[in-house]
Structure 1
Amino acid sequence: MENKYAKLFQPTNIGTLQIKNKMSMAPMGPIGFADDNGAFNQKGQNYYVERAKGGTGLIITGICSVDLDAEDMAKPVIPCPTINPLAFIYAGTQMNERIHAYGAKVIMQLTAGLGRSAMPGFVKKYIAPSDQENRWDPSIIHREMTVDEIQNVIKKFAMSASVAKASGFDGVEIHAVHEGYLLDQFAISFFNKRTDAFGGSLENRLRFSTEIVKAIKGVCGADYPVTLRYSLKSFMKGLRQGALPGETFDEVGKDVDEGIAAAKLLVAAGYDALNVDAGTYDSWYWNHPPMYFKDGGMYREFGRILKKHVNVPIILAGRMDDPDMACEAIGDSCDIVSYGRPLLTDPYYPEKVRQGRLDEIRPCLSCHEGCLGRISHGPLCCAVNPEVGREKIYGIEPASKKKTVLVIGGGLAGMEVARVCALRGHMVTLCEKSHKLGGNLIPGSIPDFKSNDKKLLAWYERQLELLLVMVKKDTTMDKRKIAIQGDDIVVVATGSQPILGKFGHARGVITASEALLGTKPIGDTVLIIGGGLVGCETGLWLAQQGKNVTIVEMSPDIAGGPHGMPFMNYDMLKDELAYHQVKVYKSTKALSVEKESIILKTPDGEVKMLADTVIIAIGYKAEDSLYNQIKLDSKVPVYNVGDSRHVNNIMYAIWDAYEIAREL
């Protein structure tokens, strides 16, 4: 029988470079993958090799700087071919020989720099096409680059590409007329106010990028593939103001018509493929789509447009992890499908698709917690896959002595402990007091924009089934039952319970979980006490159903503010709440709840509001009573993991559970 997804596994070409299938790894920042010489360290090499091993046809590395001195970037944060070219070639050759062993090809992405998009402290030299404010801190002013500086960067691109070719890379990708990075800032008139040969007309604004590809071709040869990371449209309403999908607005950045014209000029200059998306740092959620984009494939329309106007391959990412969607896109809106975060969560995604094992693919949640949420203080990683970036030093190894393990609680932490212990060869029993596995993720996965949370639960259930974990639902454990069972190790993962506060038992007041699960009726006018992530997502979900929603938050900002969660998620959630007319009271306290009204203490005084339903979403408290009962008297090791130890997010529930289970 013909493979349903055979279309994805047919060979394709970028110029003279043949790729074994139409599946590519999208470039993601290789933070923490450089050694002291700026070469790929062993962790970075293992990371890319693992994706080649999993069946990806084309690996595109994350950004490698052509010149760390141009912006005086901290060393070594990301790989850089020009610090010590010989050391880079030694490391690159070693990595690429391993990648090629699996039939995969590898392209190195080279960056001109960050410009105004640089996070404060990440660079010491603040440059841009023209004098302007930093994206994140308006008090930081970026000065205009000199022509000599621009020419030096162009030379460093040519040098870097030469080093890449000597290292066995099959091509290079230029980063980028995309996402509002330095080259994109030159391309967009909103940011580029220069009056010399690098400003003014579209051709001049693209001169930096076109001179780069010409210089590389001059050094490496006309046949050496050079691709371009390219954003067709900026989705900017203004400085630091993004536009939501479907929103009517006036584009101040690059619009589609100019994007088409720019693409034609760039291809004419010598670029061999366009790696397409949309957005800038001012509309960052377009470049790094959170779960609030309900549907994947948000760049398909842009790829479809460009395929009509340029004659080079189109590479397309944007949550394309539905293989049916990917097959539909091939030939229509792209030539190669690109996977970023899905290859973090599951390096073997391509091979599992080829074999039809879709229920074994670990899904990406689009949460950004691991891949971008830790970018300022930690290496690239993944919320649901703790092995990312440390594949050979933090993998799962067989246990030296097989044991019996009792896991109490079937939430994420409990299921991860059970999964890892079973993989190591232990005999595992998991007891869950309810009739379902999933814990607090069950109500959390109800909104349609959280559908991948549901997929994660289904993935865990399938893994436990494949690993022959004995799962006992509707089973409440206590101290006596634990002793009778007599396991070698006991792991408590009993989760957490909503904090009710002083209004939790008032008439007509319900919890966010009850609202999401539909166990209590919800009126048309809803007031949510608590503007954390749970309160905001519940409010958005209700507003999308047509409810009149108000959120009350004691803190000065919702969801912990811009630093309380990955910024692109925070920014889109904030914009979505405003778009759906959710009223938000910050620095506000609920004083009393009456039958159909609530009294609020706002910064401007007391306000009385009418509400059919009041929802409590002020947080969770650890359910650790069972652990406290057994921890002192147990004759065997007892561990407390997940929310029952410390209430936290999905990433740390999984990571903590993984850490403990891989050592048992």
Structure 2
Amino acid sequence: MVSKYHNLFEPVKIGSLELKNRFAMAPMGPLGLADREGGFNQRGIEYYTARARGGTGLIITGVTFVDNEVEEHGMPNCPCSTHNPVHFIRTAREMTERIHAYDAKVFIQLSGGFGRVTIPTNLGEYPPVAPSPIKHRWLEKICRELTVGEIKAIVRKFGDGAYNAKRAGFDGVQIHAVHEGYLIDQFAISFFNHRTDEYGGSLENRLRFAREIVEEIKKRCGEDFPVVLRYSPKSYIKDWRVGALPGEEFEEKGRDIPEGIEAAKLLAAYGYDALDVDVGSYDSWWWSHPPMYQKKGLYIPFAKLIKDAVKVPVICAGRMDNPDMASQAVSDGACDIASLGRPLLADSDYVNKLKAGRTSLIRPCLSCQEGCMGRIQEYSALNCAVNPEACREAVTFLTPALKSKKVLIAGGGVAGCEAARVLALRGHKPVIYEKHSRIGGNLLAGGAPDFKEDDLALVAWYEETLRELDVEIRCGTGISAEEIKSSGADAVIIATGSKPKIFDFGNAKRVLTAEEVLLDKEDTGDEVVIVGGGLVGCELALWLKERGRKVTIVEIMDKLLALNGPLCHANSEMLERLIPFKGINVLTDTKVIKTTECGALIETGGKTKEIPADSIVLAVGYNSEKTVYEQLKYDIGELHLIGDARKVSNIMYAIWDAYEVAKNI
């Protein structure tokens, strides 16, 4: 073990329960991990067990409903510990027994419901509920107010659900949550709670729901059964469906810090054994589910405020994947436990690798949220962009090749690297030919902005991993179709990537590509026009603005990120709102006609006008580069085309497709 991380491997207690180290797996929506009866399916069992096997001291499962009557969810979106108790206990028991084999503990996260923030794909035809008749987060609907009888019924269901969980072998429960604006949090926040009965008005009344839940569970399961609360001391709500950005001055409409500290003290006094701290709400989703545009460890200052106010352990998540930062947070008394969510999606063995001093082999999370929150939001499925095995451990399990093959890979971008990794693990002998001096492909340019540092970390991870696997990489070596045909390879993978789309607009010398700028191959000058308001254009604009440039984005569509934007709303909404907040000019429904002596001639609203620019930077997409493939497709028996060379997409599909192909060669 690296000695400077020793404090992360010391035991810690939640109530009377001792954990072997200071790492928890943060709860994430277990979409796709339940069966139709509300139990855990085999995918869920394998997924959580893999993180215990990887060294994590405390596994906290994602949302498990206790009620499916007051707020109907439709089965099987998530587990439900009360829908079919016998079946739930049977399936969960298999999981908890396997987790305990690794000396890990496991808590189940029990949810009181989503209320006004129910994701439409999970809502179906059921009417949304809330503490009061308030606006739904996503839909143009007014929520139905819960009756006192319904609140009491949900409280009883918490007792039932926790009792079933204890029988199933869970070591404790986490309550979901006075956090992120879920149903119980909606009761706790006066902006959402307009009731005049015992569940509205004063802070104590608004927290009554949360108090009755912990009291009911303790009554049913015993005082020694740990009950943890996911808790947000600050909401970052400017208005309905409007969140605040980092550094923005605003009036908090949700829970502010003074009330957050007061509420934390009350919640600890009510009997909660630990508080799992974050900040944010669905109205400011980029706080609750931080993209790469948020700094790492963003919850640490808030965790410290709560830690100083209560006498129970504090858990802290929020981009905590930097072990130096996590260790410092524990040393400084900001938290007792570092919670890893997406980093454990990316690498189930994070904790064991850290303990063994093999940090360079920890696969980094990109905070892209394409495989996790984006897929939950759009497809009700939890996965990971950089780890194709996440939540599919059994079905993607790699088997040794029946016969070792020499596999030639043309291209050392992310698709080529992933293919080589998987092939080597299965016993094949891959060889990568990369025409540039370093593997990484488009990640090298994409990782240039400081907020995209993990893109470069992924490149470094592939370099180290392929070195460990003794994969031959020939950088600075392109390869022709004729050379491939004469190579003697048993199989060939073409992963030659993509090239930026180019337009000269009349003066090619003043027109640059985003790649050239990001790699510092060309100087933009002080005033820059970026053509294209997609993901690349917007991130490039932020980076140039940070470097002191005056930036204008010209987008032909009627809004930014209209095409191929981030799947997760937390990423897309934050990025879209950062652009004006940072003082970047945006011209939508506009196109560049040509370059001029002073800048660019644009057409907008049926009229043309000139705008000043030292350079015009193209961020208008990519074209697949498959020339070698076209020359080989009739001549090579086992030939595969993957990544951007097959279809321009994103990092996730490059990795996933490469994994799928290499797994079956």
Shorter-chain TM-score bucket reads over 0.9
Instruction: Report the equivalent of 2:207.
Output: 206
Q: Call closer, same or farther: CA 1:99–1:251 in 2, change over 3 Å.
A: same
The answer on whether the counterparts of 2:30 and 2:44 sit within 8 Å (CA) in structure 1 is yes
Following the alignment from structure 1 to structure 2, what is the Cα–Cα distance between the partners of residues 619 and 439?
A: 15
Following the alignment from structure 1 to structure 2, what is the Cα–Cα distance between the partners of residues 210 and 501?
A: 63
**Which moves more between the two structures, 607-616 or 357-366?**
607-616
The answer on whether the counterparts of 2:2 and 2:356 sit within 8 Å (CA) in structure 1 is no
Name the amino acid aligned to 1:248. Answer: E
Equivalent of 1:390 in 382, 389, 392: 392
Following the alignment from structure 1 to structure 2, what is the Cα–Cα distance between the partners of residues 105 and 34?
A: 20
Name the amino acid aligned to 2:22. Answer: K
Instruction: Report the equivalent of 1:78.
Output: 78
Q: Call closer, same or farther: CA 1:513–1:25 in 2, change over 3 Å.
A: same
Show the 5 A alignment for 1:175-186.
175-186=176-187
Q: Call closer, same or farther: CA 1:104–1:505 in 2, change over 3 Å.
A: farther
Could you list the runs of 4 or more consecutive aligned residues of structure 1 that deviate by over 6 angstroms after TM superposition?
none
The answer on whether the counterparts of 2:19 and 2:58 sit within 8 Å (CA) in structure 1 is yes
If the length of structure 1 is used for normalisation, what is the TM-score?
0.98
Instruction: Report the equivalent of 1:377.
Output: 379
Instruction: Report the equivalent of 2:171.
Output: 170
Following the alignment from structure 1 to structure 2, what is the Cα–Cα distance between the partners of residues 325 and 419?
A: 29
Following the alignment from structure 1 to structure 2, what is the Cα–Cα distance between the partners of residues 2 and 40?
A: 36
TM-superposed CA distance for 1:563, in Å, is: 7.0
The answer on whether the counterparts of 2:77 and 2:122 sit within 8 Å (CA) in structure 1 is no
Within the alignment, does 1:307 sit opposite 2:307 as a pair?
yes
TM-superposed CA distance for 1:604, in Å, is: 6.8
Q: CA-to-partner distance for each residue in 1:164-198, whole Å, 9 max, x for gaps? A: 01100000100000011111111111111111111
Q: Call closer, same or farther: CA 1:603–1:177 in 2, change over 3 Å.
A: farther
Within the alignment, does 1:365 sit opposite 2:404 as a pair?
no
Q: Call closer, same or farther: CA 1:121–1:658 in 2, change over 3 Å.
A: closer
Instruction: Report the equivalent of 2:597.
Output: 595
SS in 1 for 2:69: helix
TM-superposed CA distance for 1:486, in Å, is: 0.9
The answer on whether the counterparts of 2:644 and 2:654 sit within 8 Å (CA) in structure 1 is yes
Show the 5 A alignment for 1:282-431.
282-293=283-294, 295-331=295-331, 332-375=333-376, 376-431=378-433
TM-superposed CA distance for 1:476, in Å, is: 1.4
- Corresponding pairs, count: 661
Instruction: Report the equivalent of 2:91.
Output: 91
Aligned sequence identity (%): 51
Show the 5 A alignment for 1:4-23.
4-23=4-23
Following the alignment from structure 2 to structure 1, what is the Cα–Cα distance between the partners of residues 558 and 9?
A: 51
Following the alignment from structure 1 to structure 2, what is the Cα–Cα distance between the partners of residues 159 and 642?
A: 48
The answer on whether the counterparts of 2:375 and 2:567 sit within 8 Å (CA) in structure 1 is no
The answer on whether the counterparts of 1:530 and 1:554 sit within 8 Å (CA) in structure 2 is yes
Show the 5 A alignment for 1:520-559.
520-559=522-561
Q: Call closer, same or farther: CA 1:504–1:604 in 2, change over 3 Å.
A: closer
Instruction: Report the equivalent of 2:42.
Output: 42
Instruction: Report the equivalent of 1:616.
Output: 618
Within the alignment, does 1:53 sit opposite 2:43 as a pair?
no
Q: CA-to-partner distance for each residue in 1:448-471, whole Å, 9 max, x for gaps? A: 000000100000011111111111
Following the alignment from structure 1 to structure 2, what is the Cα–Cα distance between the partners of residues 564 and 544?
A: 21
Name the amino acid aligned to 1:95. Answer: M
Following the alignment from structure 1 to structure 2, what is the Cα–Cα distance between the partners of residues 613 and 121?
A: 44
Following the alignment from structure 1 to structure 2, what is the Cα–Cα distance between the partners of residues 280 and 641?
A: 39
The answer on whether the counterparts of 2:122 and 2:380 sit within 8 Å (CA) in structure 1 is no
Name the amino acid aligned to 2:219. Answer: G
TM-superposed CA distance for 1:557, in Å, is: 1.7
Name the amino acid aligned to 1:284. Answer: W
Following the alignment from structure 1 to structure 2, what is the Cα–Cα distance between the partners of residues 434 and 456?
A: 17
The answer on whether the counterparts of 2:121 and 2:380 sit within 8 Å (CA) in structure 1 is no
Equivalent of 2:515 in 505, 513, 533: 513
The answer on whether the counterparts of 2:506 and 2:594 sit within 8 Å (CA) in structure 1 is no
Instruction: Report the equivalent of 1:663.
Output: 664
The answer on whether the counterparts of 1:234 and 1:283 sit within 8 Å (CA) in structure 2 is yes
TM-superposed CA distance for 1:505, in Å, is: 5.6
Instruction: Report the equivalent of 1:154.
Output: 155
TM-superposed CA distance for 1:136, in Å, is: 1.2
Instruction: Report the equivalent of 2:190.
Output: 189
TM-superposed CA distance for 1:379, in Å, is: 1.9
Name the amino acid aligned to 2:48. Answer: Y
Following the alignment from structure 1 to structure 2, what is the Cα–Cα distance between the partners of residues 527 and 2?
A: 48
Q: Call closer, same or farther: CA 1:378–1:505 in 2, change over 3 Å.
A: farther
Q: Call closer, same or farther: CA 1:170–1:52 in 2, change over 3 Å.
A: same
The answer on whether the counterparts of 2:409 and 2:431 sit within 8 Å (CA) in structure 1 is yes
Following the alignment from structure 1 to structure 2, what is the Cα–Cα distance between the partners of residues 233 and 155?
A: 28
Following the alignment from structure 1 to structure 2, what is the Cα–Cα distance between the partners of residues 436 and 360?
A: 18
Unmatched segments (≥5 aa) in structure 1: none
TM-superposed CA distance for 1:565, in Å, is: 2.5
Q: CA-to-partner distance for each residue in 1:36-95, whole Å, 9 max, x for gaps? A: 210111110110000000000000000100112222212111000111101111111111
TM-superposed CA distance for 1:502, in Å, is: 5.2
SS in 2 for 1:321: coil
Q: CA-to-partner distance for each residue in 1:638-658, whole Å, 9 max, x for gaps? A: 111111110000000000010
TM-superposed CA distance for 1:378, in Å, is: 4.4
Name the amino acid aligned to 2:288. Answer: N
TM-superposed CA distance for 1:531, in Å, is: 0.5
Name the amino acid aligned to 2:18. Answer: Q
Name the amino acid aligned to 1:641. Answer: I
Instruction: Report the equivalent of 2:137.
Output: 135
Following the alignment from structure 2 to structure 1, what is the Cα–Cα distance between the partners of residues 459 and 237?
A: 36
TM-superposed CA distance for 1:506, in Å, is: 2.6
TM-superposed CA distance for 1:393, in Å, is: 1.5
SS in 2 for 1:521: coil
**Which moves more between the two structures, 480-489 or 313-322?**
480-489
Show the 5 A alignment for 1:437-586.
437-501=439-503, 503=505, 506-560=508-562, 565-586=567-588
SS in 2 for 1:133: coil
Name the amino acid aligned to 1:656. Answer: D
TM-superposed CA distance for 1:558, in Å, is: 1.2
Unmatched segments (≥5 aa) in structure 2: none
TM-superposed CA distance for 1:380, in Å, is: 0.8
SS in 1 for 2:59: strand
Following the alignment from structure 2 to structure 1, what is the Cα–Cα distance between the partners of residues 157 and 570?
A: 31
TM-superposed CA distance for 1:584, in Å, is: 1.1
Q: Call closer, same or farther: CA 1:197–1:387 in 2, change over 3 Å.
A: same
Name the amino acid aligned to 1:385. Answer: N
Show the 5 A alignment for 1:616-655.
616-634=618-636, 636-655=637-656
**Which moves more between the two structures, 375-384 or 364-373?**
375-384
SS in 2 for 1:260: helix
Show the 5 A alignment for 1:185-264.
185-264=186-265
Instruction: Report the equivalent of 2:119.
Output: 119
Following the alignment from structure 1 to structure 2, what is the Cα–Cα distance between the partners of residues 115 and 378?
A: 18
Please report the RMSD computed on the Cα atoms of aligned residues, expressed in angstroms.
1.3
Following the alignment from structure 2 to structure 1, what is the Cα–Cα distance between the partners of residues 379 and 326?
A: 34
TM-superposed CA distance for 1:503, in Å, is: 2.4
TM-superposed CA distance for 1:392, in Å, is: 1.3
Name the amino acid aligned to 2:170. Answer: F
Q: CA-to-partner distance for each residue in 1:515-552, whole Å, 9 max, x for gaps? A: 11111111111110001101110001001112111101
TM-superposed CA distance for 1:561, in Å, is: 6.7
TM-superposed CA distance for 1:504, in Å, is: 8.0
TM-superposed CA distance for 1:395, in Å, is: 1.8
SS in 2 for 1:559: coil
**Which moves more between the two structures, 505-514 or 13-22?**
505-514
The answer on whether the counterparts of 1:379 and 1:389 sit within 8 Å (CA) in structure 2 is no
SS in 2 for 1:74: coil
Following the alignment from structure 1 to structure 2, what is the Cα–Cα distance between the partners of residues 182 and 595?
A: 58
